[in-house]
Amino acid sequence: MWRRGATQVVGLDFTVLSGTNAPPDGSLITAVVADRANGALVSCSATVRAVPAAVLELSTEQSPVASGGNFSYTSAYHNGSASGLSSAQLSLPLPTGASFVSANGGGVLGADGVVRWTLSSVPAGMSMLP
């Protein structure tokens, strides 16, 4: 039984069963609750947000860095999709005012100031370091 002014919280998880039926990113889903006894309707909308296939995490232990000091980034990437990623590339622009020293895992600095790694295939659900 509901009381006037009472709050009921529910959680909804959705699974897309077919790629052709998936609402596009940015679509609105509206839930409507009907109180038939009192003739009232309440609605709430949520925005669909797609989960990115690849996620990059970047961290540094040196903060702040004094002028002329060295710092390093640690990066990791994750494939959140249901299938493997192949022919992927990881790109990391140099921070303003920084100069490149080196990168492990085959990272190469381009003329545009971006360090790039060519990744082998990344299996579904796997996390890796370059």
Q: What's residue 1's pLDDT? A: 44
Cβ contacts of 104 within 8 Å, gap of 6 or more: 130
Helix residue ranges, H only, 1-130: none
Q: What is the pTM of this model?
A: 0.52
Q: What's residue 51's pLDDT? A: 62
Q: What's residue 2's pLDDT? A: 46
Q: Would you say 25 and 50 are in contact if contact means Cβ atoms under 8 Å apart?
A: yes
Q: Average pLDDT by consecutive 10-residue portion of the chain (130 residues)?
A: 52 59 69 75 71 72 77 79 79 84 88 87 76
Q: What's residue 110's pLDDT? A: 93
Q: What's residue 111's pLDDT? A: 93
Burial of 79 (0-12, 13-18, 19+ CB in 10 A): buried
